[in-house]
Chain A
């Protein structure tokens, strides 16, 4: 199985801050990486697909980059409604594994 290592596991930032989360795959997954947002008590929501494509309707302050084994998720200006846990997931090789999640809090 491909291991997905997310960093950090938790993060506290202020409104307006730039927030960066990384995800590293144990082997190359090409561009097949998604980022999801899960708010407390809710189902996850797709934000970024194919590493860098913004899902329709998702605010442009969210972005992603990377290829191969190293990926980055960025919130350019943190908003209060961005409080959530964020997960990466690879879908290049079965089983399609998730990272362990990054819990984002507002300072």
Chain B
């Protein structure tokens, strides 16, 4: 069974750093992209970008380029999303999801993590 299990909720202050995680299981972790999606309170889904665990190839949405960093640790099938200096506007639910490119026979995002709620407040 494919599962993506995300780390728990975080409460941080503006200016602090943060790294959240997403652990994949039940499939070959290095053969599928991991997507990150933001959902601000009461708002819609925003695609942040994708990272390929096999070689760490990364594609950021222009809206998030330079604001966050994606990384992976293949040894334990974890993907990470990190901030170096949080802002109040980073308060949101963050989802990781499994993605496969259509040219590889994939169907885009097919499995989602449960989400990690990040709250940034002074």
Q: Are B107 and A53 in contact, with the CB atoms below 8 A?
A: yes
* Nearest CB of A to B112, in Å: 4
Chain A residues with CB under 8 A of B102: 32, 50, 91-92
Q: Is A87 an interface residue (CB 8 A)?
A: yes
Q: Is A104 an interface residue (CB 8 A)?
A: no
Q: How far is the CA of A49 from the CA of B108 in the complex (A)?
A: 8
User: Chain B, interface size: which category?
Assistant: 20 to 34
Q: How far is the CA of A60 from the CA of B107 in the complex (A)?
A: 18
What would 11 A/B residue contacts be, using CB atoms closer than 8 Å? Answer: A34-B107, A34-B108, A44-B95, A89-B45, A91-B101, A91-B102, A95-B61, A96-B99, A96-B108, A100-B44, A101-B44
Write the residues of chain B forming the contact surface with A, with a CB cutoff of 8 angstroms: 35, 37, 44-47, 49-50, 59-63, 95, 99, 101-102, 107-115
Beyond contacts A1-B62, A44-B95: 13 other A-B pairs, Cβ-Cβ < 8 A, are A34-B107, A43-B115, A46-B107, A49-B110, A94-B59, A95-B49, A95-B60, A95-B61, A96-B47, A98-B37, A98-B46, A98-B47, A99-B44
